[in-house]
Amino acid sequence: MSDAGGLFAGIFARGEVDTGETAWLQAMLDTEAALARALERAGLAAEGAGAAVTAAAVAGNFDPGELGRQAALTGNPVPALARALAARLPAAAAAAVHQGATSQDIMDTAMMLLARNGTDAVLGSLSDASGAAAALTAEHEETMMIGRTLLQQAVPVTFGLVAAGWMTGLDEARRTLAGVRRERLAVQFGGAAGTLAALGTAGPQVAALLAGELGLAEPALPWHTSRLRITELAAALAGACAAAGKIARDVTLLAQTEVAEVREGAEPDGPGPRRGGSSAMPHKRNPVAAIAVLGCARQAPGLLATLTASAEQEHQRAAGAWHAEWQPLTRLLHLTGSAAAWCAELLAGLEVDAAAMRANLDDAGGLPLAEHVTTVLAPRLGRQAAHDLVAGAAARSGRTGRPFRDELASAVAGSSSGAAIGPEEIDAALDPRGYLGAAGQFVRRALDAHQDCERALANPR
């Protein structure tokens, strides 16, 4: 379930999220140990049983491969784990192992523990990425560039506004994921069919004690076949991937040789492999961090779809749908951690070429200001007539190579209204500095919202 140490680990195992088999095994053992402690506190296990089980519940004491082979007999690894754990204990302590629980209680609670640790790591990387985006936003508030819609040049914007959009997306993803981490990660403890009948009237007390031992929320009732917690977690993780992926896609486009407005941070010169190199083309400087983010993020929608499809579960225990959750959710958590870590690295080292941005804007020959010219002409010619005049001038400029300004001046002079605007007004209308709208205001609002997000996440309710 993990890429740690594997062939693809350099790409898909970035960051601090650990969802490998050892982490899974330890989370299950932590749940069993916490249950033993809760049972002892409730007076349902021998004195010292909780400490004894906790001491034995160390992943290194167990063979994951053997547990996996035994899982083929029962449909999950928990029964074999419970037997192996009990076998390491004296009889009095062994009696506390798995008492009152069902396998799904242990698996679901272990998943919540993995999710808590994993989301903490993801949130840390997202915070670093958002902070780097905030620095770019503030530094480039007035750096003009061409805006692009449908992959075509549109109207002028600022790179500060672009970076503010990146930052805001990351902050929204952080808030959503932090809310799930705070409110929706809950202990699972319902016994055979959600009644805790094996514990008699003490069941709810043990459930509360178990939640306290693990630091997880205590739900109103067991959620064996109510999987909204899983789908909400998965959706929040996929949202974080989406926020990181949007940034990475923009960077790959802006870093194209023919655009060259940004580039990933360079590594020092020297012998040996270097970041961004190609196996065939020595001149290449590929945006590796952005590519890695996209490689992680592109897998998230399919994993989310699997988890959403698995949420329809029968009666009090699902036949297969619950089992279908384990690997997709583990994988999604792992990939989100990697995407977030790569994104933080990408933004921290991003090099912005403001001169190239201005050159690309100027090379458009004023065409991105056509909307502005139309707005200036509309009160004198009427909006539709102004639009048609400017569109015609733009089309002729494209066909003939004659500057748009000159075609525009000729069109205005030859219009039925005569010289609707003079050369000086045309020059002013074609100055991108005069057509940035509320870009600066939006940047400042975004930075204020970022600070609000920082305060809210530092002091959660």
Report the alpha-carbon distance of residue 158 to residue 444 in Å, rounded: 13
Residue 324 has pLDDT above 60, yes or no: yes
pLDDT tier at 279, thresholds 50, 70, 90: very low
Residue 415 has pLDDT above 50, yes or no: yes
Shortest CA distance to 45 belongs to which of 254, 255, 206, 260?
A: 206
Q: Does residue 444 lie within any of the structural domains?
A: no
CB atoms under 10 Å from CB of 97, counted, come to 27
Q: Does residue 75 lie within any of the structural domains?
A: no
For the chain, the average pLDDT equals 93
Q: Is there a single domain that holds both residue 269 and residue 187?
A: yes
13: left (phi over 0), alpha (psi -120 to 50) or beta: alpha
pLDDT tier at 418, thresholds 50, 70, 90: low
Q: Is there a single domain that holds both residue 404 and residue 313?
A: no
Q: Does residue 381 lie within any of the structural domains?
A: yes
- Cβ burial of 414 (10 Å; 0-12, 13-18, 19+) is exposed
pLDDT tier at 1, thresholds 50, 70, 90: very low
Exposure string for 28-38, b = 16+ CB within 10 A, e = fewer: bbbbbbbbbbb
Report the alpha-carbon distance of residue 345 to residue 334 in Å, rounded: 17
Report the alpha-carbon distance of residue 440 to residue 423 in Å, rounded: 28
Shortest CA distance to 245 belongs to which of 177, 200, 292?
A: 292
Q: Is there a single domain that holds both residue 281 and residue 157?
A: yes
Contact assessment for residue 186 and residue 112, using Cβ atoms and an 8 Å cutoff? yes
Lowest mean pLDDT among 127-136, 172-181, 262-271, 434-443: 262-271
Q: Is there a single domain that holds both residue 312 and residue 408?
A: no
Report the alpha-carbon distance of residue 382 to residue 10 in Å, rounded: 60
pLDDT score of 7: 86
Average pLDDT over residues 445-451: 98
Q: Is there a single domain that holds both residue 270 and residue 344?
A: yes
pLDDT score of 295: 97
Q: Does residue 70 lie within any of the structural domains?
A: no
Average pLDDT over residues 162-173: 98
Average pLDDT over residues 382-409: 94
Average pLDDT over residues 267-275: 50
- Cβ burial of 151 (10 Å; 0-12, 13-18, 19+) is exposed
pLDDT score of 281: 44
**Residue 353 contacts by C-beta under 8 Å, 6 or more apart in sequence?**
260, 261, 262, 263
The residue type found at 348 is A
User: Does 278 participate in catalysis according to the annotation?
Assistant: yes
Distant-in-sequence contacts of 356-359, Cβ < 8 A, 24+ apart: 356/259, 356/260, 356/261, 357/143, 357/144, 357/145, 357/146, 357/159, 357/261, 358/144, 358/145
Q: Is there a single domain that holds both residue 192 and residue 290?
A: yes
Residue 10 has pLDDT above 80, yes or no: yes
pLDDT score of 276: 55
Report the alpha-carbon distance of residue 80 to residue 63 in Å, rounded: 11
Residue 278 has pLDDT above 50, yes or no: no
Q: Is there a single domain that holds both residue 237 and residue 337?
A: yes
User: Does 130 participate in catalysis according to the annotation?
Assistant: no
pLDDT score of 4: 58
Q: Is there a single domain that holds both residue 224 and residue 314?
A: yes
Q: Which domain holds residue 347?
A: 103-356
Residue 245 has pLDDT above 80, yes or no: yes
Q: Is there a single domain that holds both residue 107 and residue 188?
A: yes
Q: Is there a single domain that holds both residue 320 and residue 205?
A: yes
- Whether pTM > 0.75 for this model: the answer is yes
Which residue is listed with tokens 């009948």? Answer: 197
pLDDT score of 272: 45
The residue type found at 154 is A
Domain count, the chain: 2
Choose the catalytic residue: 278, 383, 410, 445. 278
Residue 142 has pLDDT above 80, yes or no: yes
Report the alpha-carbon distance of residue 67 to residue 117 in Å, rounded: 24
Average pLDDT over residues 350-368: 96
**Residue 269 contacts by C-beta under 8 Å, 6 or more apart in sequence?**
none
Choose the catalytic residue: 317, 396, 402, 444. 317
- Give residue 339's Cα distance to chain centre: 7
Which pair of structure tokens corresponds to residue 29? 């053992």
Which pair of structure tokens corresponds to residue 120? 């903490």
Q: Is there a single domain that holds both residue 242 and residue 198?
A: yes
Residue 283 has pLDDT above 60, yes or no: no
Average pLDDT over residues 264-283: 54
pLDDT tier at 27, thresholds 50, 70, 90: very high
CA angle 185/108/103 to nearest 5° reads: 155
